Amino acid sequence: MPELPEVETIRRTLIEKIQNQVIEEIICYHPDVLVNPDGISLDNWLIKDIRRRGKYLLFDLQKDIICNPKPAARDYCVMMVHLRMTGKLLLEEKIVEPAKHTHVRFVLSNGGSLDFNDTRRFGRVTLFPPGQEFNDCGFATLGPEPLGDDFTIDYLINTCKRYGKSSIKGVLLNQKAIAGIGNIYADESLFRAGIFPERKAGELSHAKITLLHQKVREVLTEAIGHRGTSFRDYVDGLGNKGFFQLHLAVYQKDGDPCLACGTTIEKIKVAGRSTHFCPHCQK
């Protein structure tokens, strides 16, 4: 479900509320969802920081030891959360009965909890010893952050060359090429850049790639500004919806007139995903 702007919005809502809180206990209600191959302790972790990389959230945890001048490696860990399609992280102010699809609960020192809830159960919470999060191969092979300095026009030109036979939409969705773009923002970026989603990446002119680079950053930045897209069930860490669905041009707009030219928006399948585009504006 959530793409970069949604995951970033969740990160921001959570860090404000629970940085420096202690996870007193991690309770797992469904064994598949919490992955802990190193048998990391499930209690008394101080939340030092919450970072995002692509669609992953990384919680930097430190053992809550009051006077410990020489912390050992086992006093630190990284908790990686991937929400996949329907995952949510929801703060509860008090301890309540776990919801139907709450699979992992983080009991907090403020008397509440952070609940990992995921209807389709594709998402995962994985615990790693410090620095070992790269053992998750999806994480290890992530491309650059599209809003970061490494995502340059030259990088996108070279990446389009490297994945030249693949559709440009396939490149945008490929997490090894660029981290964090999903189906909504791929379609919206391609509309703004005027590129037909099935165009081979290798055929695009440098001018078009430059425009796409700009539009990818523009769409993601605007979407973060609107706190993400709540198309079906996305909510942030406080249960609030985003607003970027009010600014979508093509995603889920098939049958509607294009706001730019009036041509009917179409829906096709590209790179295995439903794809929305304007046949007049996108070539």
Partner DNA sequence: GCCAGCCTGTTG
Partner DNA sequence: CAACAGGCTGGC
Per-residue interface string for the shown chain with DNA, residues 141-180, x marking contact by CB under 7 A: ----------------------x-xxx--x--x-x-----
2 is known as an active-site residue: yes
Could you give phi then psi for residue 258, rounded to 5 degrees? -60, 135
First-to-final CA distance of the chain = 28
98 is known as an active-site residue: no
3 is known as an active-site residue: yes
Cα 179 versus chain centre, distance: 9
* Stretch binding DNA (CB under 7 A), from 10-18, 120-128, 147-155, 214-222: 120-128
- Which residue's CB is nearer to DNA, number 13 or number 167? 167
Shortest distance in whole angstroms from residue 2 CB to DNA = 6
Q: Per rule CB under 7 A, is residue 8 in the interface with DNA?
A: no
Which region holds residue 273: left if phi is over 0, alpha if psi is between -120 and 50, else beta? Answer: beta
Among 19, 60, 75, 122, binds DNA (CB under 7 A): 122
Shortest distance in whole angstroms from residue 72 CB to DNA = 30
- Which residue's CB is nearer to DNA, number 24 or number 198? 198
The footprint of DNA on this chain (CB under 7 A) covers a number of residues equal to: 40
- Annotated catalytic residue, options 11, 55, 169, 215: 55
Shortest distance in whole angstroms from residue 25 CB to DNA = 25
Among 66, 67, 72, 137, binds DNA (CB under 7 A): 137
Both tokens assigned to 244? 């970027």
Shortest distance in whole angstroms from residue 86 CB to DNA = 7
Among 55, 105, 199, 253, binds DNA (CB under 7 A): 55
Both tokens assigned to 79? 């908790």
Binding interface with DNA (CB under 7 A): 1-3, 6, 32, 54-55, 82, 84-85, 100-101, 119-122, 137-138, 163, 165-167, 170, 173, 175, 182-184, 228-234, 242, 271-274
- Enumerate the active-site residues: 2-3, 55, 273
